Amino acid sequence: MILPGLSYDVAYVRSDNIKTKPRRQIYGHEHEFQYKVQDSLAKDLRLKLRVSSDAADYNIGGNEIRVFVEYPFDLFLFAANFCLTVKLMAA
C-alpha cells in the first residue's frame, strides 16, 4: 500500500422494481476513498470521500460527492461513533 490507512472501494449497484413509469432497473456505481489515522491524538479518525453516480434519468441530482468524518469515542463506558456527513455536490 502506498500510504498506511488508505483504502479504495468501488461498488456497482443494481436495483429493480422501482416505482417509476414504466418500471425498470436502475444502475449506478460508487467510489469511496478512505483514510484512517494510524497514530497520534486523532488515532482511528476516518475521513471518507464517496462519489456516487446514478444512471437513472428520472433521478435528477442522483450524482453526489460526499465527505464523511468519523471518530470513535467512549461515552459513559459505552463505545460510540460520531459521524459527520457533508454533501458537497449533486449534479
Q: How many CB atoms lie within 10 A of CB 39?
A: 9
pLDDT digits (tens, 9 = 90+) for 21-69: 666 667 778 899 999 999 888 888 899 998 887 755 555 566 778 888 8
For residue 91, is pLDDT > 70?
Answer: no
- For 43, list phi and psi in degrees, rounded to 5: -55, 135
Residues with Cβ < 8 Å from 28, sequence gap 6 or more?
12, 13, 52, 53, 54, 55, 56, 62
Whether 3 contacts 35, CB under 8 Å:
yes
pTM of the model: 0.66
**pLDDT score of 23:** 62
**pLDDT score of 50:** 87
**pLDDT score of 36:** 92
Q: How many CB atoms lie within 10 A of CB 54?
A: 20
